[in-house]
A and B are shown apart, each in its own frame.
Chain A
Amino acid sequence: MTTVPPTTLSEAAAVGEHVGSRPSKWARRWNWIEGRLAALVERANPILVKETRQALKSRQFTITFMVVLLLCWIVSFVGIAWVGPQIYYAAAGPGMLAAYYTILILPLTLVVPFTAFRSLAAEQEENTFDLLSITTLSSRQIVTGKLTSALVQMVVYLSAVSPCIAFTFLLRGVDAIMVGMLLAVAVLGSVGLSMMALLVGAVARVRNTQVVISVALVLMLAGAGWGLWGAGIIIISEGSAVYRQSEFWLVAVVILSIYITTFGLLHSAAAAQIAFVSENRSTPLRRWMMAQQACLCGWMAGLTYAVMESSGMWPSNFMAEIVIVTATLGSAYWFLMGAMMTGEWPHLSRRVQRSLPTNDAWRPFVSLLNPGPGAGYLFAVANLTMLLLVGLAALFFADLVPGGRGSRSAESAVYYAIFAWSYVVAFLGFGRLIINALRQWIYVPMTAAFLIHVILLLTAIGVPTVVQMTSRELRNSGYTLWQMTNPVWTLAELASRGVDNVQGDILVFILPTAAIVALLLNMRSVATELLLQKTPVPVRIIEDEAEIEAAVPHRPSSPWDVDEEPA
């Protein structure tokens, strides 16, 4: 038999190596720490363990680490020489911190995310992805493992720069909050970019396209790196005064909420890309979409509250603007998400059907989270409807309806919300009907379905615009009813010039009618999806569950849960 060497001293002691004198107090403590670390590694994600092993042996990692270390030394020596005797009385910290931050941001925004992309792309190239995907690791574990290994690399690069950053404290002009903010921007930025790179790596399954995608990704990372560097420099140059402003923290919370929900969405999307086809890949994505919607509502409520607090009243124009901004962001968001969701495959796998809700009252609502183009369409419509109803309710309770007719009035906001809702419902609905029709004859993947929605929208914008621009009579007449299919022009005109300029009294009948027609035409197939019955779990699964349960040793949950010992 081969002997695999013990990995810790405690294990070695357990197998009888190190037999001899009693270990010292420090040795025992070290053994204890090593034992805890070994237990931690035991529970660690296997991908993290593998990638860390590989990274620590890789030439790329060694070279990058040495370059970062070398640049830090050079900056330290050159910086001190440059500052000269002023170092004793001038605040030289911010300048040096900016230089160290510049060194740090390079590996964190370029090297680490690109390595994360390559680690997933290389699995495809080196034929290891198949081997990985038939292990018991879930797709989420694979993505999380790749991401945490990127995080480990970040920590190593940070450890190289951290003594230099600590050194800037001695040079004055730098405080802990500034350093904390700076590192938070760098690390969160790097983690976010790594997540994005992993999603790109998961999507780029075809080897031939990987070169093009790699170049595009590097350019994107370079741009994002430049942005993060700029954000860091602003934090350093603004100094500590900015932290005393409540708006700064409000904006930080908003950015953080965007970050967290987008991160969750990207993570679920990357996991969905590499998951097996019969898995439920849609529900986690839809939960994150709902979280983003909740955030949007929260920002708007927070903004309204902040303005109320400062002015002591509900300013009508401002409230109308809030509704218009919410409707614009919400409509764009749900159109994009809806365009993707309506491209999902209409047949639920038996695996997903087994997990359908059984409660008849709740089924239609919970089923909206299930995969399927019909459920996706209704999910987008329901969310947008809820968002706009909340906005309109805010207007109603502010006693602003009816408001004065004119630009940015409450009336414009109400019309704007109705029109935006109608456009999204109609475009997604008619697009889905086209996709359904095409799917009777040919295979339409999700990408093609998304493109169909985009083409439909561009046609609705482009055709009337071209007609009006080429018509001698209409060319200079501004907005006309010819543009009713053009959501961009209609909504922009409505927001800037008011209801009368877009003949709102006519459109308020036409657009919602078109939306309701599209909705009704889709309802049959939507209902088919939502009313699907839960299928019974196969006997073999029940048997397996029982076997697994029987194999788990029973642990007492209370002192009374122990079998009585025989007398």
Chain B
Amino acid sequence: MFMPRRPLIEVRELHRYFGPTKAVVDMSFEVYAGEVFGYIGPNGAGKTTSMRIISTLDEPTYGDALVDGFSVVDDPDRVRRRLGFMPDYFGTYQNMNVVEYLDFFARAYGLRSYERKRAIEYAMDFTLLNQLADKPINGLSKGMKQRLALGRTMIHDPAVLILDEPAAGLDPRARIELREMIGRLAADGKSVLISSHILTELAEMCHRVGIIEQGQLLAVGTVDEISNQTETRSEVRLRVLDEPDGVLNYLRARDDVSDIAFRNGQVVLTHSGGPAEQAALLRQIVDTGFQVVEFASKTKSLEDVFMHVTEGRVQ
């Protein structure tokens, strides 16, 4: 179980308007040390805009965001020392190799002498770029560039990492590597705010997620929490040794059960209660005398939750 320690990112009533367009509307959430927070939403939902504000690249119209207690509007210089941002594009410099690229950003973050060398070595080790130190960055593959971008993002050992679509365009192997790297970063106590379209991946690596649509944060929490908040009904599958008619009649008489069907030797039903109510239902079925050999509640995937929260309005 993930135990929150202190919020490293605090977003407070964040608003960002571009003329009449409301890109971000009243967004508030917190991300704690050692937590990976997934940011989910369709294109144009306001993910990148809010990430850019937290990364001190844009200013909010109203509201604020704090990184390690510092306002991104009032103290961007202090925020920048604690934050690494990986945008959804790779900024390339001409005539530069991998180690020179990392060396430049290490210098730009004020790392000097051996401290800088150690940081470059660690970043190259972490991102598995050791063999590519002298390779021109223009000659790197997409996956290598993403790893280099991650190395650049973590070169000054920031407490907060903001990764905008880091897995976009990567092959499966590179995605797995990236997921492992992000997991290790969180294990080191860093806060990671990550956005992605690949929901299965986010579900695997994120402790909590925030679902955003049309600039508004619709839900925040673990997948289960959001699922429980937004949808109390769940599909239950039941198998009994007796003839199904008896149990079907029993269930049809109950108010908390609907959509009852018998398929492939299983009774499939929709139950309107939470886990405690489901346990009570099972106990009552058994007490009635039915011989239950299987009782399973279907776990909702992040995709189910997302589609439900956004009511299927994915663009």
Inter-chain residue pair count (beta carbon < 8 A): 108
Q: A540 contacts the other chain (Cβ, under 8 Å)?
A: yes
Q: Specify which of A2, A3, A50, A132 lies most central, judged by the most chain B CB atoms within 10 Å of its CB.
A: A2
A58 CA / B105 CA spacing, docked (Å): 20
Shortest distance in angstroms between A210's beta carbon and chain B's nearest beta carbon? 17
Closest A residue, CB atoms, query B52: A130
A259-289: which residues lie under 8 A (CB-CB) from chain B? 276-279
Asked if residues A128 and B93 are in contact (CB atoms below 8 Å), the reply is: yes
Which A residue sits closest to B123, measured CB to CB? A2
Q: Among A4, A128, A133, point to the contact of B117 (Cβ < 8 A).
A: A4
Give the residue name and chain of the B residue nearest to A61 (CB). Answer: B95
A50 touching B104 by the CB < 8 A rule? yes
Q: B91 CB to closest chain A CB, in angstroms? A: 4
Please tell me if the beta carbons of A126 and B69 are within 8 angstroms of each other in the complex. Answer: no
Kindly state whether residue A53 has any CB partner on chain B within 8 Å.
yes
Instruction: Type the 1/0 row for A344-362, where 1 means its CB is closer than 8 Å to any CB of B.
Output: 0000011100100000000
Q: When A276-B76, A544-B78 are in contact, do A54 and B121 touch as well, CB less than 8 Å?
A: no
> What B residues does A354 contact at CB under 8 A?
74
B96 contacts which of A54, A276, A541 (Cβ < 8 Å)?
A54
- Asked if B94 is at the interface of the complex by the 8 Å CB criterion, the answer is yes
Which residues of A, 87-131, contact B by the 8 Å Cβ criterion?
Answer: 122, 126-131
**B108 engages A135 (CB within 8 Å):** yes
Inter-chain contact B77/A50, CB cutoff 8 Å: no
Hey, what's the 0/1 contact readout for B27-63 against A, CB within 8 Å counting as 1?
0000000000000000000000000100111010000
Q: Are A131 and B69 in contact (CB under 8 A)?
A: no
Query: Are B74 and A351 closer than 8 Å at their CB atoms?
Result: yes
Which residues of chain A in 53-70 are interfacial with respect to chain B, using CB atoms and an 8 Å cutoff? 53-54, 57-58
Q: Chain A's nearest CB lies how many Å from the CB of B58?
A: 9
Which size class do B's interface residues fall under? 35 or more
Are A50 and B93 in contact, CB atoms less than 8 angstroms apart? yes
> Would A46 and B74 be within 8 Å (CB), given that A53-B95, A58-B94 are in contact?
no
B residues within 8 A CB of A126?
91-94
Please tell me if B291 contacts chain A, counting CB pairs below 8 Å.
Answer: no
Residue B89 at the chain A interface, CB threshold 8 Å: yes
| B59 CB, nearest partner CB in chain A, Å | 5
Which residues on the A side are within 8 Å of B306 (C-beta)?
none
Please report the C-alpha to C-alpha distance between residue A279 and residue B74 in the assembled complex, in whole angstroms.
Answer: 8
Task: Say yes or no: A131-B91 contact (C-beta < 8 A), given A3-B121, A4-B117.
Answer: yes
Evaluate whether A540 and B91 lie within 8 angstroms (CB atoms) in the complex, with A53-B96, A130-B57, A132-B108 already known: no
Does residue B83 face the partner (Cβ distance < 8 Å to A)? yes
Is B188 positioned at the interface, with any CB of A under 8 Å from its CB?
Answer: no
Q: Which residues from chain B contact A129 at a C-beta distance below 8 Å?
A: 91
Are A2 and B108 touching (Cβ within 8 A)? no
Interface residue from B81, B89, B117 paired with A127 (Cβ < 8 Å): B89
A507-552 interface with B by 8 A CB criterion = 538, 540-541, 544
Contact of A134 with B105 in the complex, beta carbons under 8 Å: no
Contacts of A310-365 to chain B: CB distance below 8 A: 349-351, 354
| Alpha-carbon distance A279/B75, docked complex (angstroms) | 9
Bound complex: CA of A163 vs CA of B70, how far in Å?
56
Distance in Å from the Cβ of A36 to the closest Cβ of chain B?
14
- Indicate whether A567 reaches chain B with its CB closer than 8 angstroms: no
For chain A, the count of residues having a C-beta within 8 Å of the partner chain is: 39
Chain A 112-171 interface residues, beta-carbon cutoff 8 Å to B: 122, 126-138
Q: Which residues of B contact A42 (CB under 8 A)?
A: 112-113
Smallest beta-carbon distance A370→chain B, Å: 16
A44 to chain B, nearest CB (A): 9
Query: Which B residues lie within 8 Å of A349 (CB)?
Result: 73-74
- B-contacting residues, A352-394, CB 8 Å: 354
A212 at the interface (CB under 8 A from B): no
Q: Please give me the residue from chain A that is nearest to B117 by CB atom.
A: A4
| Cβ contact within 8 Å between B80 and A54 | no
**B275: Cβ under 8 A from any A Cβ:** no
> Which residues of A are found within 8 Å of B292, using beta-carbon distances?
none
Contact A278 to B121, CB < 8 A, known contacts A126-B92, A135-B105: no
Given A132-B108, A135-B80, A136-B80, decide whether A350 and B74 contact each other with a Cβ distance below 8 A: yes
Q: Which residues of A403-448 have CB atoms within 8 Å of chain B's CB atoms?
A: none
- Cβ of B99 under 8 Å from chain A: yes
State in angstroms the CA–CA spacing of A73 and B78 once bound together. Answer: 54
Contact of A1 with B by CB under 8 A: yes
Contact indicator A136/B87 (Cβ below 8 Å): no
Cβ contact of B121, chosen from A2, A47, A138, A351, cutoff 8 A: A2
Asked whether, in the complex, the Cβ of A57 is within 8 Å of the Cβ of B95, the reply is yes
Q: Is there an interface contact between A1 and B125, defined as CB atoms closer than 8 Å?
A: yes
Separation of A538 and B133 alpha carbons in the complex (Å): 43
A53 and B96 alpha carbons, distance in the complex (Å): 8
Cβ contact within 8 Å between B89 and A544: no
Check: A49 CB closer than 8 A to any chain B CB: yes
How far, in Å, is A279 (CB) from chain B's closest CB? 8
**A134 with B93: CB separation less than 8 A:** no
Q: How far is the CA of A134 from the CA of B84 in the complex (A)?
A: 8
Chain A nearest CB, measured from B48 CB (Å): 11
Q: A540 near B56 (CB under 8 angstroms)?
A: no
- Which chain B residue shows the least CB distance to A535? B74
Return the contact of A134 from the options B57, B78, B90, B117 (Cβ within 8 A).
B57
9 A-B pairs with the lowest CB-CB distances in the bound complex, closest first = A46-B107, A128-B91, A135-B108, A57-B95, A540-B69, A2-B130, A50-B104, A351-B74, A127-B91
- List residues of chain A with CB under 8 Å of any chain B CB: 1-4, 42, 46-47, 49-50, 53-54, 57-58, 122, 126-138, 276-279, 349-351, 354, 538, 540-541, 544
Interface CB pairs A-B, < 8 A, 5: A4-B99, A127-B90, A128-B93, A278-B59, A538-B71
Extra contacts, 16 of them, besides A276-B59, A538-B71 (Cβ < 8 A), are A1-B125, A4-B117, A50-B100, A54-B93, A54-B95, A129-B91, A130-B52, A130-B57, A131-B87, A131-B91, A131-B105, A132-B108, A133-B57, A351-B75, A354-B74, A544-B70
